[in-house]
Amino acid sequence: MEPTFLGIDAAIPCGLLLSELVTNACKHAFPETASGELAVRLSIREGLARLVVEDNGRGLEHDFDIRGARTLGFTLVQALVEQLRGTLKVETGQGTRFTVSFPPR
């Protein structure tokens, strides 16, 4: 894997976003007695950074919509994505995948 560099204006909110998504996965994806896997990827292609955080845990509700989520964690995730001037895609099923695309500045 090649090193990926972000400008400071993107690196700080990206780091906070990564921390929140990993914390959420560790707290909610796996019941206390289960183990699982968590993957994190950051890449830059065609002038766009892409952060992917995914797990193979129990997944979110099938009709989950982050725009309607009222938890502090998801509110923070949305605010950080906005700060990055990015977009967020959430996929769920057997596990959950968060994909954030944003300009690397």
Q: What's 8's DSSP letter? A: H
Name the band, by pLDDT with cuts 50, 70 and 90, for residue 38: very high
Q: How far apart are CA 72 and CA 93, in angstroms?
A: 23
- Please report which confidence band the pLDDT of residue 59 belongs to, taking 50, 70 and 90 as the band edges: confident
pTM for the full model?
Answer: 0.89
30 pLDDT higher than 80: yes
Q: Tell the CATH topology of 8-102.
A: Heat Shock Protein 90 (3.30.565)
Q: Exposed, middle or buried by CB within 10 Å (0-12, 13-18, 19+), for 57?
A: buried
Confidence of residue 66 (pLDDT cuts 50, 70, 90): low
Give me 105's structure tokens: 């500045």
* Whole-number Å distance between alpha carbons of 24 and 26: 6
Q: What is the per-residue burial (b if ≥16 Cβ within 10 Å, else e) of 7-30?
A: eeebeebbebbbebbeebbeebbb
Task: Return the closest-CA partner of residue 73 out of 4, 17, 1.
Answer: 17
30-34, 46-50, 99-103: which has the minimum mean pLDDT? 30-34
Least confident window among 20-29, 67-76, 82-91: 67-76
